[in-house]
Structure 1
């Protein structure tokens, strides 16, 4: 595991906080950007102190074209409630984007100008494309790590841009970052890691990349979300069965053992991932037990019709009553 400077120590040291802001700014090209209004829900006092220094002028750094609206940190509020509050404020202030940071400094959620969540895979693509461009400008190769539940748009678009892409189990994200000397790693629950940032607070760097990608062109964030999420996808949880292990076994028997949908690729790092992406029709799904009687299901396909068919078939197997 990497040893990083904890942000609590940074915030307590004014000069170190400025050095942190300078480090983030040096990793994100903001030389060309239109003005943006951004609403931020810090989630913790540490983030509330760092955001105005990084994106504003609180530390005496040059002004960026960012109009910040920073919400107060409120105790006893759930992440879902904070997200709802942020969405309302984004719409109220006619903002271009909203950022929600959690207690974990590696996690961040993004919402567009309508207050709608931007999928973490879209954030991964936006950050990955910018990191790839930075590496190519320096004539360096670049590796990006993503978890197995990431949209197939992540490897498709980043590989096309010239990056080397490595999938990893969500629990092994940081180990894979080190093993492959990757510049960037991301998971589908909004966790973002960077090799070149010597601080524990890495989600803010991902957010800076998103704002830079938004500001360097004229499309709103909702349009970027559509462009970089080209496949049909659904994510849901099913609790209508007595055993998540038995439900997963039924799916494995139908799709892997019997190969009822044809030859498939299988990955079991984050549950049961079955993929038919190398052939047509293109689809994949992940069945991940998330409790004794609950299963998380992710389905992605080339279009809505295929996604609906695969989702319905897998759900029927999951919720099938045992004899």
Structure 2
């Protein structure tokens, strides 16, 4: 089956179809998955990539061969799969490569209740079974039941955030030819449910896994240029951009300017704290310092975690947190089985905007206090050596307030400046994030750290 180490990642399986990920591997993974999860039934969904139906069908065959019944949800977003896993309290598998180019595909898996599966929570076990050969099952073969869950998913989200009473908003949505083109008409439009006071202006809603217009990766500024232009051209109130599997949502304001995910995290946190005063809010350590400040100011308890959805979800389970946010525009909700859903975050933003007379830029300015560098990657031959060199350079300095190693190296300095340096798990890269109160001090600190990394 080739080198499975190429495709088994920290949180999912991802490879090039059919070179490193094909139907045979998907079938074996389906059989292995069926053996490590509890219960008789599994739910499977897939995105719009040309290879997704074939891979999902093969995975289903593998699970059926192990005696497991499969609910085949067909086309769906990743958060629709989490919804199904949570609603039915059964394990699930989603076939998608998210924002990766068209030749890629992958499998995101979860246990019952949308509990994440990663290397330490079952993925290594699945890989071992696939490598050794999954033992045959001598009981009756499982069944397949096709079930369209889109309407149930849409109705559930609308129960969590009521948009029926907001002022009319003009909303440009760029689905990037990804699954947002399938879910947005159902949730925000009138395809399946009553119309909301939203005028949706669609961009690239046609499902096309070859991504003919631009990659479905709104984290890259080049991929939201069309959205920004359409917002300005139409005089829209807000723009939303979804990634390929529509689990992440990026926001631009009425000027076409991007709203930082940290500002969205703070905004949604304030909404959630209004519903449950004193609740815990999770944020990863790259999120703006403004997030824990604002959470505390609104009576909440901010909890800082490592980067990555498995750490966020684990912290939410341990603390009972009501909400969690990441710098990468992943937003997690206790009311959504602690899973991430960009659609629900977008609905919170629409409700805030739709119940306020001010433009979005004015509203979000309250949640944007610092200047961030964004993530800067440096290719290095010796990750540990360069990391140690940076730490040595800052050790003992009078302007250093604290150093920690929760995830890589974080250095907090006087004047509300900080940086985090992390090693990539998959490439010879160091990832730097810097934040400070103004552009000048951010750039000065950024350049100082980069000079050491790249020396």
1:209 matched residue in structure 2? 348
1:113 matched residue in structure 2? 254
Structure 1 residue 46: Cα displacement: 4.1
CA spacing shift, 1:298–1:288, aligned 2, 3 Å: same
Name whichever of 148-157 and 172-181 sits farther off. Answer: 172-181
Q: Does 1:147 align with 2:284?
A: yes
Q: Deviations over 1:147-206 (max 9, x none)?
A: 100001100011111111111111211111111111111111111111112596711000
What is the rounded CA distance, in whole Å, between the counterparts of 2:340 and 2:379 in structure 1?
A: 39
**Does the 8 Å contact 1:285/1:298 carry over to 2?**
yes
2:369 matched residue in structure 1? 230
**Does the 8 Å contact 2:154/2:186 carry over to 1?**
yes
Which of these residues, 280, 284, 295, is aligned with residue 158 of structure 1? 295
Structure 1 residue 6: Cα displacement: 6.6
What is the rounded CA distance, in whole Å, between the counterparts of 2:449 and 2:260 in structure 1?
A: 23
**Does the 8 Å contact 2:172/2:230 carry over to 1?**
yes
TM-score (norm 2): 0.61
Count of equivalent residues? 309
The structure with higher relative contact order (CA 8 Å, sep 6+) is: 1
Q: Deviations over 1:3-25 (max 9, x none)?
A: 997766286756x4333223212
**Does the 8 Å contact 1:237/1:294 carry over to 2?**
no
Cα RMSD (Å) = 2.9
TM-score (norm 1): 0.84
Q: Does 1:314 align with 2:314?
A: no
Which of these residues, 358, 361, 373, is aligned with residue 219 of structure 1? 358
Which of these residues, 44, 54, 64, is aligned with residue 187 of structure 2? 54
CA spacing shift, 1:5–1:85, aligned 2, 3 Å: farther
Q: Does 1:189 align with 2:189?
A: no
CA spacing shift, 1:191–1:201, aligned 2, 3 Å: closer
1:170 matched residue in structure 2? 307
What is the rounded CA distance, in whole Å, between the counterparts of 1:244 and 1:116 in structure 2?
A: 35
CA spacing shift, 1:100–1:301, aligned 2, 3 Å: same
CA spacing shift, 1:251–1:175, aligned 2, 3 Å: same
Structure 1 residue 315: Cα displacement: 2.2
**Does the 8 Å contact 1:5/1:200 carry over to 2?**
no
Q: Which secondary structure does the structure 1 equivalent of 2:406 belong to?
A: coil
2:436 matched residue in structure 1? 301
Q: Does 1:283 align with 2:420?
A: no
**Does the 8 Å contact 1:96/1:112 carry over to 2?**
yes
**Does the 8 Å contact 1:142/1:163 carry over to 2?**
yes
The unaligned stretches of length 5 or more in structure 2 are: 1-10, 12-36, 47-72, 77-145
What is the rounded CA distance, in whole Å, between the counterparts of 1:131 and 1:234 in structure 2?
A: 28
